Structure 1
């Protein structure tokens, strides 16, 4: 494929996804990592897109946080890869909290281990409802129709007396002070769950590090494992405890 046609195809894909990692560009165009990066540079230098760490996004991306259904269409290859990376951490007999997240929805579709799952995600519940290996607890509460999760006092009350083996969460953004979300009631559910486990697992794309959101759902000290699509910068890794395990799509365990 000639360069001009390849870049047109990239721009069309970017218009649908809004944001793409280098790996996404490689898969979409069927090109090498070097070619993907050259095409990203080319379209950003023409002012047609905005380059970010590890990928590219449409201009003015982030003026509002996309809905759950919009996010479900983005980063499909990356989400599946992240879900497959997390899957081996879950072992038979565990009690696991699984957060509302498009990546973690992919995780629920892959589960075959006999585990007990608690979730406030409507889509996670639907995904797991017919899985015979799963003992499912759907947390009640008021339904957020746009982002398809339950939250509120009833949700927190249902969580309060459960000690989890693992709490697996996503994030809208990650900063040096914690993981953040766009909805206050949703953030409260994460805080409650992370307070009741010895193993907090964060799963998100590296692009979410250093962005801005309003409501804290947990501290970085509560996270024992961090799973990202690409390695974090040294400054970002320094936000976490020295004992934190880092895992990536590009290299498994992230070395120091």
Structure 2
């Protein structure tokens, strides 16, 4: 396939889905990761796409990273496997905080059949999926579950952040936090590119007795602008089987527990 043809395919994928991940393009085009990254650089230089970590997105003046819709189309098998593994860690009848993000949204979808949960979230999509599953048309509860949505300023990733969200979270105490992150790094720990979202995520961590991080393997060695927590603050880190063995060994020694979800499990 000629370079021009590859670039047209990449552009079609970005326009169709709002974004495309390098790993998916490598498989679809049958070329190396270096070739895909070079093609994305060329397209970005021509003003046709925006380069982001792990791929490309449609141009947007609003965000430093893809919005919720674009990110929700990426790494679907990984997110589904992680969601099932993370949901299995949540006890019926417990209180749970769920941060914003597409992986945490997948976890919320996997939690709809867990009875009696009280969920605190700063994610509009998470609140919506749980509300639709748990609330009858007359407003009564179908499962004994309830959702508390923090206030705050809305980001392109549909998170509610800022002083209002932080103030609400500081008065709460939950059993478990399910935290999505932009990056996981040996030195920087857990990070996000959004300073205000970083502050809100730190408040979520402080409100939880147990911190469960859900992050697919592409997040490894990614460092965002704002720090959230150190690896040692993580009780459980749930990732997928694409994580290299060296990274698994390092994380297993630093976090309380490492759970590697097999992608095949999401298909069975």
Q: Normalising TM by the smaller chain, what interval?
A: 0.7 to 0.9
State the match for 1:249 in structure 2. 261
Taking a change above 3 Å as real, the CA distance of residues 193 and 58 of structure 1, as seen in their structure-2 partners, is farther
In 2, Cα distance between equivalents of 1:235 and 1:192:
27
Note if 1:44 corresponds to 2:32: yes
State the match for 1:109 in structure 2. 109
Q: CA deviation at 1:194?
A: 1.0
Residues 235-244 or 105-114, more deviating: 235-244
| 1:81-100 deviations in Å (ceiling 9; x for gaps) | 21111111011121111011
Secondary structure of the residue that 1:59 maps to in structure 2?
A: helix
Q: CA deviation at 1:110?
A: 2.2
Q: CA deviation at 1:243?
A: 5.9
Alignment length (residue pairs)? 224
Note if 1:59 corresponds to 2:61: no
Q: CA deviation at 1:240?
A: 6.0
State the match for 1:122 in structure 2. 124
| 1:162-195 deviations in Å (ceiling 9; x for gaps) | 2221111111111122111121111111111112
Q: CA deviation at 1:138?
A: 0.4
State the match for 1:162 in structure 2. 172
Note if 1:234 corresponds to 2:246: yes
Which of residues 152, 155, 158 in structure 2 aligns to 1:148?
A: 158
| 1:10-46 deviations in Å (ceiling 9; x for gaps) | x66965552265xx68xxxxxxxxxx97x87x5118x
Unaligned residue ranges in structure 2 (runs of 5+): 42-50, 54-63, 135-141
1:1-256 equivalence runs, <5 A = 18-19=20-21, 21=23, 42-44=30-32, 48-50=35-37, 59-60=40-41, 61-62=51-52, 65-111=65-111, 112-113=113-114, 114-130=116-132, 131=134, 132-133=142-143, 134-144=145-155, 146-176=156-186, 177-230=188-241, 231-235=243-247, 237-238=249-250, 241-242=253-254, 244-250=256-262
Taking a change above 3 Å as real, the CA distance of residues 243 and 220 of structure 1, as seen in their structure-2 partners, is closer
Unaligned residue ranges in structure 1 (runs of 5+): 26-35, 51-56
Secondary structure of the residue that 1:212 maps to in structure 2?
A: coil
Q: In the alignment, is the contact (CA less than 8 A) between 1:226 and 1:247 conserved in 2? A: yes
Structure number with greater CO (CA < 8 Å, separation at least 6) is 2
Superposition TM-score, scaled by structure 2 size: 0.72
In 1, Cα distance between equivalents of 2:103 and 2:122:
15
Q: In the alignment, is the contact (CA less than 8 A) between 1:187 and 1:215 conserved in 2? A: yes
Q: CA deviation at 1:58?
A: 6.6
